[in-house]
Structure 1
Amino acid sequence: MTLRDQSWLRTFLDLGAHAQQGNISSRDIERQEDTVLRALEILQDHPGVVLADEVGMGKTFEALGVLAARAHVAPESRFLVITPGPDLNKKWTREIRRFIADAGGGRKVYGGLEPDAILDVGRLGDLLVEAPRRRVLIAPISLFLRGVRDDHADLLDLFCRYKRLPGPTRAAIFRRFRDGACQREPAETFFGKFNYAALEPHLAAAFTRTDGNEPTLDAAYAEHGNELFSADNKAGKILDLLDLARYRLARALLPTFDLLVVDEAHKLKNRETKRALSLSQALRQRFRNALFLTATPFQLGIDELRQVFALFSLAQTAPLDLRERAENLLTDIRDYQDAYAGFERDWGRVDPVLAAELGQHLERSPDLAQLPDNPALRPVALHLRRLIELKDTRIEPALRRWMVRSRRDDRFLYRDHRPRRLPVEGPAMIPFLAYERLIAELFDQKHPTHKAAVEINMVSSYSAAQRSEMLSDEKTAAIPSIERYRGLLRDILKNLSDERDSHPKLSHVLGDVLRAAEERGEKTLIFCARIQTLHELQRKLHDAWEDRLLDRWRHAYPDATHTDVFGERGEDRHARGRHALLQQRFHRTQDFLYFALRERYLQTLLDFEDWGERHLDAIVERAEPLLRQVRTGPTSAERINFCILKRVVERAAVDLRRERDPAWARDFADVIQRICDPRFIPHGYDLVKDELEESEDGHLTPTWNISREHAQLVVRSRPHLWTYFRGNMYGLPDERRIQLVERLARYLTARYVPFIADVIARAKSAGLAVDPVPSRELLDLVDDFWQSPVGRGYVVQLRQFLQYFHYELSEESQDKLLDGELLEGRFVRQTSDGEARERLRETFNTPLYPMVLIANEVMQEGLDLQRSCCRVIHHDLPWNPAQLEQRVGRVDRLGGRIHKLRDKDRDAKLEILYPLIQQTIDMRIHQVVRQREKWLEFLLGAPPDPQEYAEVNTPPPPLPTALADRLRIDLRPRVPS
């Protein structure tokens, strides 16, 4: 492929097709185009390229752009995308479907692939069968490790056939293997897909030595015979040999892929892991080029780059000296690190006057060909000269041959990192000291533990400390000194269960989250590695939010208790408080309040204005015969049912105006047709019997009449909630509109949403009786509520929700959101609820509740959580700075809330909180992570900043701006001229 430019790329690729819906700037679209072009350029001369953009800058779309360009040039080419797991398979499938779908206005990102050319596979057999048939396959790396036991039996059967072993020998082998657990008759098909004839040509490649280096099952069997398969034959390593045969057989069956895309490639940094070995064995020489996606190509050390090159060496286009090149680059980087360490040490001795003098000298001699006259600056200048020489001639050119990385240069401006050092003094220190003393005693008695791991339990929460293995280890239970300290610690922790002795970190996080939610309406994403802490945080946040809600209720009922308002505390409640009773009234069809949260179609869909009020008597007269045609159950026959009344009056009003105003009727023909349909009165606007709207069914005729006053509630022109969303409600289909109105009505009255409390407080301040609450008067107050400052907040939130729902979600995702428990209005959710990551993603991305998501490691990669959140709390710190970046990257992404806020206010901040308990391992982890982060940032394109990573109270002066830019390693796709 020859060098291409943006004009060529845009002839078949429109990366900006979804830009408007995603709030993506034209500048970002151009950057993504440049990245695609640069990656294609690198792949012309090299076996692979690393797309290393910072988290949230669109690597997936860029990778698809590279894939599309290769597909455009070679229409018969095939592609394989390897993801970290099944959840990421779903994300990639969704993104590719979006990539090739109509984005509106006839625009597509790429139109060169058909949907049936793309497949998400989950098992090895499916991959092997579908690879020759499809152009794009998406597979989790775990696919190579799934179903291994069944595959082992298949492989053993194949081996026996390949060796033409007689039946008794085969039976003897299967009796020995895994103590006979895999015994069976000879199989008809293998891997659930293939017959023997299809696999026979490839068995030699699977079982015999081909390169003189790898061990093989055939060679081991020649040495050990049937005993190879005995459980006690450790020398044979039969399971490893079977795994190797499995991967080699897969390799023989797979076609050649034009491009192998590996998402979250840093997960393969350890070449000894099963996943890295399986990928290497199964895909060696089965792809021409590789595209690795990772924001953190190295995490704990630069040596991890060695594995990147090792994986690139598997490509058909890899040069023989690739690993030698990798070693040379690593040597150069170490030299660079040594030179920078020397510079940083000497820079720490420079005062602001000398720093300014160096800046002036650099203006005269940017490359320091001439050293400064001042002897105090010469050591610094010598280090800088070495750094510039290494950077310009070795480091940057070498990295640019393999890597493309864009970064947000302004993120240091809007990312507000907030380490909070939490003091623990006096009696509060006792549990921490006792915990450390128990650890010390274990070491004294020659029973060491992983000190850092157990220390993290205590700084996470008392619950995590109580449930740590250290407090239940039976191996040391018989040692009196250990058990004495252990018993003391158990007693201390047990007595700390009272609320007044809350853990210092939990207390700080609770207060911070509640303030953000209540005072600023901000969502918070909390990362917590200890499952016990996660549960305790969720429980305490639930309880604390209920207490905040109780304070709101007390605006109307000053002496109310928790039981008065909510019934008994807890999730499973039977005693009903004020909230439950009022909640019921908003949804009971025999109550005026039923009108409060339902859409009144004459105002929202038909622009009736005051026509109904001017013709009220005629409408009532028209409505009575319609009411007599209704058939319903006993309750609605004897008592006014406001749902039936509303539909009957709406039908009568539309009928009457259609007769008297034909021009109006033509303008609203579709809506009129629905309301005049015979199914409208019994089943509602969607004309379908379901649980969303009250569907009336029975054999009785209502005995009540429609009064003029009641009809006026339906036809009057005063605004209500849904008049703020009149018209087509963002183009949603009618059936979906009905779903939304009903679900959101339930959401607003949910237990943890303060809507009812706010309405009752407003009623009390307006002089309305609140004990008991009069429904008719409260209905008018609710209609007015949406124009109050508090009410407008709900309207804005609902508008944001509807925009997200319509523009950002697929129909499948919309269904999941509405049919699940996602609109129940829970204040806090957490990842161990058993709910799929995707469902949690959808609900947290809405502007509605939950306000807090407590996540463990499963949520820190591969999910977009940026739509409504720009706050992150690292409750438990990892040692790996890349994990911190991945966490923050869940909310700092293109089109995210923080970037929308910054479009309006350049001072808006993405808040990143680090609660650190003083004099504990928290402080050490934070210090280590910061030092590791320095090199992660610097080698990947950040300008060096000795101030930011200084470990002294008096930091050194800042580097001159020109010097910081001169030292910056530039991996951007297009280097400014």
Structure 2
Amino acid sequence: MSGVEWGVLRPESVADWINFDHSNPEWCYEGPDSTSMASRQTEGVAYLWNLLSLHGVALLADEVGMGKTFQALGIAALLWKIKPNAKVLVMAPNKDICAHWRREYHAFVQFHYRQIDHRVKNGVNSGPMQSIETCSDLEVLATAVEKGTDHLYLTTIHALSGLVPTSDKGTENIRIARGRAREIHDQIKAAVGDGGFDLIIIDEAHYFRNRDGGSQRVNAAEEFFGTSRTGLGNKVLLLTATPSHTKIDDIRNILMYFLKTDLDSNCSVGELMTKYGLRRFRRMQGLKCDYSKREYRIENDVPCDFNQRPESEIFFALYQKKLVTELGMTRDNKSLLYGFLEGFESVGRAETEPLHTEVADISIEESTGKDYYKAHDSELLARLSARYFETFRCLPDHPKYGSLVKQCTPKNLFEKSRDLHEHKHLVFVRRIPSVRELTQRINEAYDTVLAKKIYQAWGLNDDDRVVNKWRTSKPAWSRIGFDELVRHCQSNITPQEEDFNDEAPPDANDENDAYLGSAIADLFVVKKGRHGSTDASNVSLRFRKPESAFAMFLEPSIDYKLGGYLTYYKFEQGGKHRADYVTAAREARFRRHTLHTQESVATRRTYDTHKYVKELKTVWSLVYPQLSKLQKKKLDDWAQNRPDIAENFANYVRTGFLFASPVMVEFYAWFTKFSRNCNDVDVQVRYNAFVDYVSDQIEESLTLAYFKSALDTFEVLCEKIIDHKLGAWQKEWRALTSLQSPAWFASGESKNRQRLILGFNSPFYPNVLVATSVFQEGVNLHLQCRKVHHYGLAGSPGDNEQRVGRVDRLFGKVNELLKIDSKVELEINYPFLKNSIDEDQVASFIAKKFHFEEKMDTCTQGTFNRSVELTRENWRDFLRRPKESVAIKDPYPAKFDNINLPKKDLF
């Protein structure tokens, strides 16, 4: 690094400047015998710094979920401390993970970097001194570097695959890509000097393991990173939880891009890891001790069958026969592809439903064939499905779909005994059409549960004619059928307030995907034209519109605890006097808690203030007495010291209740039951009577359960998951308004995956996230989920580990539960079709994975063989079961003895 010597670093010195235990401001490094993650991360920063100082290259290969990003940011922060203008490049797989790095850097500086030194941390808002630039491609990166005003540059690994313009694509793709990468390399080096970037961080470095694959990415990477004499960076830090992803040579291949000297071919992987690497196993802090992953992970086989559905069984028997006779799938050629039998209904449905074409995505996985629309059997499946549909006028049943849908749909959604995190399921598939098929089926299953709550509120039963008519309408639970049901039941109900007009919420799902969503959720959306409004949408508007008294129900209490409101506004519009309840309530809170804003005063109408006949309470006054002591303490602290956080939380739960949860169905049921028995015409009297009615329901309600769960996770959600400051009380949670369905999907064509990450990490929708490999690496999905389903098998044990690692992370739901109950398990499910090729595939994968992953953890395995061995004997013995607590030894730990570096105080 030009002008600066890295020297030697000790964990004690790191702890002087960085506190990895955010919950304890007084934390200090506990010594080499400590097993706390804070101490281990501190050691990681020091050890990696020393490796970079000594060799210029370091490989951080800690197990998934150990905070590799924070350790890398710790190194960058200490580098900026001694050289504030240092240039750091981060290459992450895709734009979503780049956004994650940006969030993590802000959080790291604000909450973990100890001192305001005006070199790393500023004194204005405790934010970073260094500026960040996210670059969509390598040309944008080069331009940004030439500008010279930024310090941390974020770009994607996928950018290496996008160097050939569409107009130039052809037989010369590799040559063009190499040439353009070389030009960009030279452009950056000319801007920053011969030394290049002061530090390059490669996230998910195993993407560079296939040196001999001949891909455009590999060839471009060789030119972009440069030779040993003209490297792009002075120091290079490589991050991956699975360094030997599929074969032992992966580690050598990754390192060869960046080492100053050629690797000795006789140098073993063990020697390479000892010299350049750091790999340690994660330990979760629990009730009585720390837990390794083998102590709480449980793998379950989930067998499925046709269950007396002969037509579908015949279809499947014919399909298996055709695999052999037409495609030559035999024991001898071992060319079975993982993913067969994953979704033959999807292929059939594609004939009648919109089928989107997969677009080029920022995720490399989508372009490498791990996820696919078409496999070897796609044409065969389409042909057989079409013939089946012609004969039976329906598509063949798929047992794996039915089994998974049953697992992912709660039976007792509206009953008291519930942990909302149990509703969260992460499902991985291989066939891209399967994400839609599963999403639609799970939403249909949820609709059956939600619809029952609605028609029971009208006093109807499952076997009532009007209910059956609504159930069997086309589509099921349609708006037209719902209108007929309401008209049938509404004859004796007191007229309500006027209906409110509204438009569909922003960021609503694309119309082409409308058939995938929840039909019940759709009832609460206002649309254009006939049947644009429904009784459900009208009730929803009552809880949303400021001029509706019932919108007060979701306002926080005036003191954020129990207090009610005494006044409301009236204004004149179109010659009529109208009320505005919500604006009056909000401004009353703002005055009380000194949250005045120029906008709230300048933009509001000319109001007259009027007194309520009786103090108006909100749902917060009903919820607050039901909270735990810790939860009350949190609200009390916000009310006294941080009302901006309380307001932000209020916006969050209001939006989640109205748009992204079954709570709106609960509100509708309450409102309907109440209205059927209330004859009061006066709005304020009726509202107060409604609050009294709900007070008897609140203890066993979903409303209370969601409020508690949202309160428990709100701070970490803001800090770790999204670009939303904890006290950003004037911002709306617009992303939640488009998460109206219980299940949704993430694939390469998903437009806004950040909203899915937000929703899945919250107690709100989606409860079930069906994903391709686009969510296999680099994203955090752990705050609410402890269940993973491998509907389609991963391509390798490394991919499998990355999938599970999305929820098996520090400070996630599993970690939280282990602090309460040592018997908590992380469920990993493998559904399969019994006595079929599908079972052969699962059996073969599980057996091979068992032996492979033990060595993969210590980087000593050979190459993973993907072929399918057609045997099912005793394969369930290889499913992982929780082990008793045992001592584990890190394969390549941090060491600080005999460091061959100058002894120098860096700071």
TM over 0.5: yes
108 and 269 in structure 1: CA distance in 2 versus 1, 3 angstrom threshold: farther
841 and 631 in structure 1: CA distance in 2 versus 1, 3 angstrom threshold: same
Partner in structure 1 of residue 320 of structure 2: 436
Q: Amino acid of the residue matched to residue 292 of structure 2?
A: D
How far apart, CA to CA, are the structure 2 residues paired with 1:742 and 1:636?
30
511 and 238 in structure 1: CA distance in 2 versus 1, 3 angstrom threshold: closer
Q: Report deviation, 1:398.
A: 5.0
State yes or no: 1:535 paired with 2:447.
no
Q: Report deviation, 1:933.
A: 5.2
Q: Amino acid of the residue matched to residue 329 of structure 1?
A: S
Q: Report deviation, 1:291.
A: 1.5
How far apart, CA to CA, are the structure 1 residues paired with 2:572 and 2:112?
46
Kept in 2, the 8 Å contact 1:719–1:783? The answer is no
Q: Amino acid of the residue matched to residue 757 of structure 1?
A: E
The within-5 A match list for 1:740-755 is 741=650, 744-745=653-654, 747-750=656-659, 753-755=662-664
The within-5 A match list for 1:169-180 is none
State yes or no: 1:121 paired with 2:100.
no
Q: Amino acid of the residue matched to residue 419 of structure 1?
A: D
822 and 971 in structure 1: CA distance in 2 versus 1, 3 angstrom threshold: farther
State yes or no: 1:970 paired with 2:885.
no
Q: Report deviation, 1:917.
A: 1.5
How far apart, CA to CA, are the structure 2 residues paired with 1:442 and 1:950?
25
Q: Report deviation, 1:545.
A: 0.9
State yes or no: 1:547 paired with 2:442.
no
Of 8, 14, 22, the residue aligned with 2:13 is 8
Q: Report deviation, 1:903.
A: 0.8
Of 564, 567, 588, the residue aligned with 2:479 is 567
Kept in 2, the 8 Å contact 1:566–1:577? The answer is no
Q: What percent of counterpart residues are identical? A: 18
608 and 736 in structure 1: CA distance in 2 versus 1, 3 angstrom threshold: closer
The within-5 A match list for 1:12-411 is 12-17=17-22, 27-72=36-81, 77-101=86-110, 111=120, 115-131=129-145, 133=148, 134-146=150-162, 148-149=164-165, 239=176, 242-243=179-180, 246=183, 249-250=186-187, 253=190, 255=193, 256=195, 257-271=197-211, 272-284=214-226, 285-286=230-231, 287-313=233-259, 318-320=260-262, 322-324=263-265, 327-329=266-268, 395=270, 398-408=272-282, 410-411=292-293
TM-score (structure 2 length as normaliser): 0.70
State yes or no: 1:643 paired with 2:571.
no
Kept in 2, the 8 Å contact 1:15–1:109? The answer is no
Of 854, 858, 863, the residue aligned with 1:941 is 858
643 and 928 in structure 1: CA distance in 2 versus 1, 3 angstrom threshold: same
802 and 274 in structure 1: CA distance in 2 versus 1, 3 angstrom threshold: same
105 and 431 in structure 1: CA distance in 2 versus 1, 3 angstrom threshold: same
Q: Report deviation, 1:309.
A: 3.2
How far apart, CA to CA, are the structure 2 residues paired with 1:807 and 1:722?
24
How far apart, CA to CA, are the structure 2 residues paired with 1:918 and 1:975?
53
Kept in 2, the 8 Å contact 1:528–1:856? The answer is yes
Partner in structure 1 of residue 496 of structure 2: none
Moved more, 55-64 or 131-140: 131-140
Instruction: Please give the secondary structure, in 1, of the residue aligned with 2:857.
Output: coil
Q: Report deviation, 1:296.
A: 0.8
Partner in structure 1 of residue 493 of structure 2: none
State yes or no: 1:826 paired with 2:748.
no
RMSD across aligned C-alpha pairs, in angstroms? 5.0
Q: Deviations over 1:640-691 (max 9, x none)?
A: x3628x949x99xx9xxxxxxxxxxxxx99518779x9x9xxx9xx4364xx
Instruction: Please give the secondary structure, in 2, of the residue aligned with 1:712.
Output: strand
Query: What count of residue pairs does the alignment treat as equivalent?
Result: 746
Moved more, 112-121 or 252-261: 112-121
Of 403, 413, 432, the residue aligned with 2:295 is 413
Kept in 1, the 8 Å contact 2:303–2:831? The answer is yes
Moved more, 564-573 or 588-597: 564-573
Q: Report deviation, 1:932.
A: 4.0
The within-5 A match list for 1:650-799 is 670-671=591-592, 686-687=600-601, 689=603, 696=605, 710-714=612-616, 719-721=621-623, 729=638, 741=650, 744-745=653-654, 747-750=656-659, 753-757=662-666, 760=669, 769=677, 777-788=689-700, 791-799=703-711
Q: Report deviation, 1:126.
A: 4.2
Partner in structure 2 of residue 372 of structure 1: none
Partner in structure 1 of residue 387 of structure 2: 491
Unaligned runs of at least 5 residues, structure 1: 153-177, 182-230, 331-394, 473-481, 613-618, 655-667, 690-694
Q: Report deviation, 1:266.
A: 0.6
Q: Amino acid of the residue matched to residue 141 of structure 2?
A: L
441 and 79 in structure 1: CA distance in 2 versus 1, 3 angstrom threshold: same
Kept in 2, the 8 Å contact 1:592–1:779? The answer is no
Of 392, 407, 410, the residue aligned with 1:515 is 410
Structure of higher CA gyration radius = 1
Partner in structure 1 of residue 516 of structure 2: none
795 and 96 in structure 1: CA distance in 2 versus 1, 3 angstrom threshold: closer
Partner in structure 2 of residue 857 of structure 1: 773
Partner in structure 1 of residue 366 of structure 2: none
Instruction: Please give the secondary structure, in 2, of the residue aligned with 1:848.
Output: coil
Q: Report deviation, 1:768.
A: 7.6
Q: Amino acid of the residue matched to residue 246 of structure 1?
A: E
Q: Report deviation, 1:445.
A: 13
769 and 834 in structure 1: CA distance in 2 versus 1, 3 angstrom threshold: same
Instruction: Please give the secondary structure, in 2, of the residue aligned with 1:61.
Output: helix
Partner in structure 2 of residue 477 of structure 1: none
Q: Report deviation, 1:119.
A: 3.1
Kept in 2, the 8 Å contact 1:743–1:823? The answer is no
119 and 785 in structure 1: CA distance in 2 versus 1, 3 angstrom threshold: same
Kept in 2, the 8 Å contact 1:418–1:912? The answer is yes
147 and 280 in structure 1: CA distance in 2 versus 1, 3 angstrom threshold: closer
Of 460, 464, 469, the residue aligned with 2:343 is 460
Q: Deviations over 1:388-432 (max 9, x none)?
A: xxxxxxx4x553223211213621121121121223466242222
Partner in structure 2 of residue 800 of structure 1: 712
Q: Amino acid of the residue matched to residue 593 of structure 1?
A: F
Kept in 1, the 8 Å contact 2:843–2:875? The answer is no
Q: Report deviation, 1:492.
A: 1.8
Instruction: Please give the secondary structure, in 1, of the residue aligned with 2:892.
Output: coil
Kept in 2, the 8 Å contact 1:730–1:803? The answer is no
Q: Report deviation, 1:436.
A: 2.4
Q: Report deviation, 1:895.
A: 1.0
Q: Deviations over 1:445-468 (max 9, x none)?
A: 99x999634x73533341146659
Q: Report deviation, 1:730.
A: 6.5
Q: Report deviation, 1:61.
A: 0.9
Q: Amino acid of the residue matched to residue 507 of structure 1?
A: G
Instruction: Please give the secondary structure, in 2, of the residue aligned with 1:10.
Output: helix
Partner in structure 2 of residue 502 of structure 1: 397
Partner in structure 1 of residue 822 of structure 2: 906
Q: Deviations over 1:828-879 (max 9, x none)?
A: 2222574322222122211222212121221111111111222111111122
487 and 4 in structure 1: CA distance in 2 versus 1, 3 angstrom threshold: closer
817 and 593 in structure 1: CA distance in 2 versus 1, 3 angstrom threshold: closer
With CA pairs under 8 Å and 6+ residues apart, which has the higher RCO, 1 or 2? 2
Partner in structure 2 of residue 359 of structure 1: none
Q: Report deviation, 1:751.
A: 8.2
How far apart, CA to CA, are the structure 2 residues paired with 1:80 and 1:718?
47
Q: Amino acid of the residue matched to residue 971 of structure 1?
A: Y
760 and 819 in structure 1: CA distance in 2 versus 1, 3 angstrom threshold: closer
How far apart, CA to CA, are the structure 2 residues paired with 1:688 and 1:721?
33
How far apart, CA to CA, are the structure 2 residues paired with 1:288 and 1:672?
52
Instruction: Please give the secondary structure, in 1, of the residue aligned with 2:453.
Output: helix
Q: Report deviation, 1:955.
A: 6.0
Kept in 1, the 8 Å contact 2:131–2:151? The answer is yes
TM-score (structure 1 length as normaliser): 0.65
How far apart, CA to CA, are the structure 2 residues paired with 1:608 and 1:263?
50
Instruction: Judging by fraction of residues, say which structure has more helix.
Output: 1
Kept in 2, the 8 Å contact 1:434–1:485? The answer is no
Kept in 1, the 8 Å contact 2:136–2:159? The answer is yes
275 and 730 in structure 1: CA distance in 2 versus 1, 3 angstrom threshold: farther
How far apart, CA to CA, are the structure 2 residues paired with 1:495 and 1:404?
61
